[in-house]
């Protein structure tokens, strides 16, 4: 794929995530400084549509990314947004106020949900009991994404209530960030969502996992950065307190 076409895909994803509106060629030409005409952009968008990376949701001129388009965006284009020094201090200060492990998990989930505006989940195994604790926060954020999720909202909430489903998904988390997008989700009820996960602790003795779940129209770069940062701090606090 040409670099120009990739930049147009990036512009479509960025603008759609920001505005929630299908994106047209004129808007890309006006707002993204690609130095090409709307007509050229339209031609490139037609190719992106043929390749299954964008689609036209209704008869307007605008296009939105498909699951495959988001996957190409995450794999080729998304640049992780570094957290500022103030954001890093805020995370550290917030988690340092924890009284015990359970409080740490709850604080971590709430913090991550607040940062990403998605549903956040944090898990930790209970040593000697063969089970895991899970803290979940931000389910109300899904209701605010009602336009994205439509009739799939209730099944998603049901899946979240069945904690075994979420625990199974986070059990697959590894030391590097993994993103499952839309139809890549094995759980049928979650195929209108994306899941960003990462494990914390060393690979040979991973403590648990951190993840966020939200509509496919999410800020992937911001979510990846936030999940990584919270996982890093949680792992460090647990190791230092061990």
| Encoded tokens for 193 | 């969502």
Nearest Cα to 110, choosing from 239, 234, 225, 240?
234
Burial 165-191 (b: 16+ CB within 10 A, else e): bbbebbeebeeebbbbbbeebebebbb
Give the integer Cα–Cα distance in Å for 88 and 92: 6
What pLDDT was estimated at residue 183?
92
> Cα 5 from chain centroid?
23
Report, in angstroms and rounded to the nearest whole number, the Rg of the chain calculated over CA atoms: 19
Tokens 């956040």, located at residue: 120
| 3-state DSSP percent of the chain in helix, strand and coil, to 5 | 55, 15, 25
Inter-CA distances, 110 with 29, 58, 88, 137, 176, Å: 39, 37, 16, 5, 22
Helix 85-96 / helix 220-241 crossing angle, nearest 10 deg: 40
What kind of fold does domain 85-241 have according to CATH? Beta-Lactamase (3.30.450)
- The pLDDT, as a whole number, for residue 124 is 83
Domain chopping of the chain, boundaries:
3-77, 85-241
- CATH code: domain 3-77 is 1.10.10.10
- Model pLDDT for residues 30-62, shown as the tens digit of each residue: 888 888 899 999 999 999 999 999 999 887 679
For the chain, which ranges sit under pLDDT 70?
Answer: 1, 60, 78-80, 127-130, 145-147, 202-205, 241-242
Using one digit for the tens of pLDDT, what is the confidence trace for 121-133? Answer: 998 877 666 677 8
Tell me the whole-structure pTM to 2 decimals. Answer: 0.86
Task: Annotate 21-72 with DSSP letters as a single string.
Answer: S-B-HHHHHHHS-----HHHHHHHHHHHHHTTSEE-SSSSS-BEE-HHHHHH
């Amino acid at each position: 794929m040409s670099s120009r076409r990739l930049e147009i895909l990036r512009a479509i994803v960025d603008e759609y995530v920001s505005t929630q509106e299908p994106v047209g060629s004129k808007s890309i030409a006006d707002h993204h400084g690609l130095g090409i005409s709307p007509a050229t952009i339209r031609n490139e968008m037609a190719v992106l549509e043929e390749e299954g990376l964008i689609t036209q949701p209704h008869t307007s001129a605008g296009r939105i990314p498909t699951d495959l388009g988001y996957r190409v965006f995450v794999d080729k284009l998304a640049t992780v947004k570094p957290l500022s020094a103030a954001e890093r201090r805020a995370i550290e200060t917030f988690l340092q106020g924890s009284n015990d492990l359970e409080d740490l998990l709850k604080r971590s989930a709430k913090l991550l949900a607040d940062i990403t505006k998605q549903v956040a989940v944090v898990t930790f195994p209970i040593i000697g009991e063969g089970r895991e604790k899970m803290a979940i926060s931000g389910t109300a954020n899904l209701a605010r994404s009602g336009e994205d999720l439509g009739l799939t909202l209730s099944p998603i909430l049901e899946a979240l209530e069945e904690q075994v489903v979420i625990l199974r998904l986070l059990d697959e988390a590894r030391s590097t960030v993994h993103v499952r997008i839309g139809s890549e989700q094995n759980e049928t009820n979650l195929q209108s969502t994306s899941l960003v996960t990462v494990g914390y602790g060393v690979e040979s003795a991973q403590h648990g996992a951190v993840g966020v779940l939200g509509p496919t129209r999410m800020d992937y770069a911001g979510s990846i950065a936030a999940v990584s940062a919270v996982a890093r701090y949680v792992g460090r606090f647990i190791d230092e307190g061990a």
